[in-house]
Amino acid sequence: MDSEAIEAKVKQIIMEKLNVEESEIVPSANFIEDLRADSLDTVELVMAFEDAFQITIPLEDQDKLQTVGQAIDYLKEKLAS
């Protein structure tokens, strides 16, 4: 999967799970502070990434995915390795 496809898929998942507009999904957007998620939404979001990309994201790593940009970078790196 190339990096554009990853990015598109991540954005689509965020849009569906958090019920937000595409325009809000900018790299600096923080899931909790900007996209109105609560801590349980972020767990569900991570689970949706796991399902979509068929990977497991250990709980220790969850804190590394606090913004849209961080999520995209994390997933790109994870899928490259």
Ligand X SMILES: CC(C)(COP(=O)(O)OP(=O)(O)OC[C@H]1O[C@@H](n2cnc3c(N)ncnc32)[C@H](O)[C@@H]1OP(=O)(O)O)[C@@H](O)C(=O)NCCC(=O)NCCS
Instruction: Find the catalytic residue in 34, 38, 61, 63.
Output: 38
Catalytic residue flag (residue 2): no
Binding of residue 39 to ligand X (CB under 6 A): yes
* Residue 47 contact partner, candidates ligand X, other proteins, none, CB within 5 to 8 A by sort of partner: other proteins
- By CB under 8 A, residue 38 contacts other proteins: yes
Name which of 40 and 80 has its Cβ closer to ligand X: 40
Distances (CA, A) of 22 to 28, 29, 35, 61, 81: 14, 11, 11, 25, 28
The two three-digit tokens of residue 53, written as one number? 């990309």
Q: Quick check: 61 binds other proteins (CB under 8 A)? A: no
Active-site amino acid positions: 38
Site residues (vs ligand X, CB under 6 A): 39-40
